[in-house]
Amino acid sequence: MRNRASVPPRDETAFINGGTAGTDKPVKAPEKTHLVSKAKPVSVSLFEDNLKDIDDIIREEMVSGSARVNRSDVMRAAVDALKKLTKSEISTLIQEAKQRQ
């Protein structure tokens, strides 16, 4: 292989001790306070009415000047809202949603 950069070849010691190697102590990365798991893609079947409702929520967020919102954000918020309900309230909501089919 040709040396096209016109840089003279260096021996191993010159390479290790040259440049910025070993001049500063390595900077410690800030420790993360909590682990963040990566979002996993899932397939969800929704009725047209559900999609329209989600899109309306996104539109309202855009009009209010909030940060960019997508359907995944709305679905995550819905799941978080469900966590705040009792088991019987969740069951009631699920039954009502099934009946609207």
Per-residue model confidence as pLDDT tens digits over 2-49: 666 676 677 777 777 766 555 556 666 667 677 777 888 889 888 899
Each residue's pLDDT tens digit, 51-90: 999 999 999 998 998 778 999 999 999 999 999 999 999 9
How far is Cα 84 from Cα 5, in angstroms, rounded to an integer?
63
Do the beta carbons of residue 70 and residue 58 sit within 8 Å?
A: yes
Q: What pTM does this model have?
A: 0.58
User: Using alpha carbons only, what angle is made at residue 72 by residues 66 and 78, rounded to the nearest 5 degrees?
Assistant: 85
Contacts of 69 (CB under 8 A, 6+ apart): 57, 58, 61, 62
